Structure 1
Amino acid sequence: MSDKPIVGFIGVGLMGHGMAKNIKTSGYELWYLDQRPIDSLLKLGAREAASAKDMAQKCDVIHICLQNSGQVESVIRGDNGILAGARPGLIVIDTSTSDPASTLKLVEEVKGKGISMIDASLGRTPKEAEEGTLDAMVAGDDEIFERVRPVIECWAGRIIRVGAVGNGHKMKLLMNFIGMSYGALYAEAVVLSAKIGISPQTLREVIAPSRMGSGFFDTFMKYVVERDRDAHKFAISFAAKDLRYVNNMAAESKMMSIMASAAVQYYAHAESTGHGSDYVPMLSDLVGALNGVDMAEEVRKGAHNVAP
């Protein structure tokens, strides 16, 4: 591999766009693959690959940033996938939030073709992706990691080594288990608050500065109180998928998982009733509707009761 490997990027959505942009502006030759042309990357000099196979024939390092393990498996194993075009020595970095069981199978498959694979799960938001300051939870072989560290540093402000390959995806699922459980808890709490006569504004005022406040609580309540739909841009369908993976991980570990089993239910209901593309804080509206509460109306009523 040369000092400046040729880098590929598959999946330039909310997170992947900023990551790819920062790789390109750091001086790397960049090929990307997505469902549509990305003008902002093309203007920077990135080039669009015809397929994952085409990308694998051209690149030394390929990032994958997709929605689920099924998509990752397809882009690696498909007729026009990475395995169909890869040369020995290629390094694949999976930054998706994937099922660790799938990841470990893929690692063994690609190894048989002379390809190395590490997982580098992401922390923080699309804002930090654009700024190049994401958290990266990187798992895999130390030598491979050191070879790609300069590329990861293009988009990560903090790199945390979490051990053997697969642990990056396991750690990300633990993070999302905590986060999405908070989302379900907050949704239920704001609706209960409204049912007993305490406005969303008052709940935020009390909780936010306390030890129970958090960045997640702040963005969740920014939607609830200010109705800012872009306050926390993480889709309910992604939350449901991640919690399903958490429950799978617990089952494979032969562990009782009462909290994970409960947390997934609100998200599954929202997804099954056509709200999968809504963002996580909007779960509060759906839980409200299940309980006869119009949360937008509760916010309006609360605004009238706020002292000037």
Structure 2
Amino acid sequence: MQATRRLLSQTGVTSQVPPRGTLDVLKSAGNACLSLLSQQNRDSFLDSLNSGIIRPEVLGQSEMGMAKILALHNDLSSPLFSKYKFEVTEFTEGVKPALCRFHEVQSLLQTKVGDEKKEGNKGDDIKDEQLEREQKALRDFLAMDISNMESGGMASIAEAVGMRLNWTEEAKEDPESLAGQLMSMLTDEYFKIVELTANASFMRDGRFRYVDGSAEINNVALLSARALEIPNSTDDAEETISPIDEDRPMKDESLDGPLKKSTQSDMPVGVQMEVLYDVKMTYEHTDVGGKEAENVGDGEELTRTSILVAVFEAWLHGDPDGNDSLRWKLAVVRPAWEFPLINQYS
């Protein structure tokens, strides 16, 4: 539990680390190839393989294969990690119980949403117009790209299915509630996504009730580990182009070089870790007046295994909230698109 609390704690980066593209991975892999000319770097690479920090048997199944393996080695060799004494083993030890806790709390909250909706509909005849509206909202939800969801679009879907957006309010009033626990694990942006899509998720899987305590994480593999210096917003404002003032005296910018460099050397550092993992969860089928699930009767249990990617973020240095230790938060949990050959749902 200590590792879980350390990994999913109260504050974290707010999606400041930019997404990585294919060219970024290839560039990182190329840098790794050059670094392996050094015996010291080759020994470090072998240590990462032998310790299980880099798992080639997993990364080799991705679309980029060997490039993904080399890119991860280059990521872990970042001077920022050594400068701020980051230990990747502490992260890998805590990630499994942290993910298990996330899925447990999220599923219990999802069950709560379902119970409230069923109780509200008890004894009422659902009109055709309402059913059609909810089905359309579900189709819109399933068509949305989770990485590009806008709060306005999600809010309209939530409104269409009659969802009251009260998780944020509940979390602030009672941090120990399920909503409060979930909020403490996620970035603000991802919490909004989970909150706004909860009702649509119930429409899709509402006949299945999560069995408390059944979440199980078996395998976890590190995909990427990135540390980036992130300029302060005040620095960005100073660098914006201002109107030309002819009366202003000329200034030799080279004279500001050492001062500017010393200021930027203490820039905040954000860290982002991606992990591939499988989660097994058990659900009980319940009859809510709809069509029976195929091959699953009322009261029977169904176990699902999903292969997913979780993205964690934190401030490695210069936390705006003044925290001296790492405070990890989940930025997103998504399908493992880069592993097309793996059966991701069973």
The TM-score with structure 1 as length reference comes to 0.31
The TM-score with structure 2 as length reference comes to 0.28
Structure (1 or 2) with the larger CA radius of gyration: 2
Question: Which structure dedicates a bigger proportion of its chain to strand?
Answer: 2
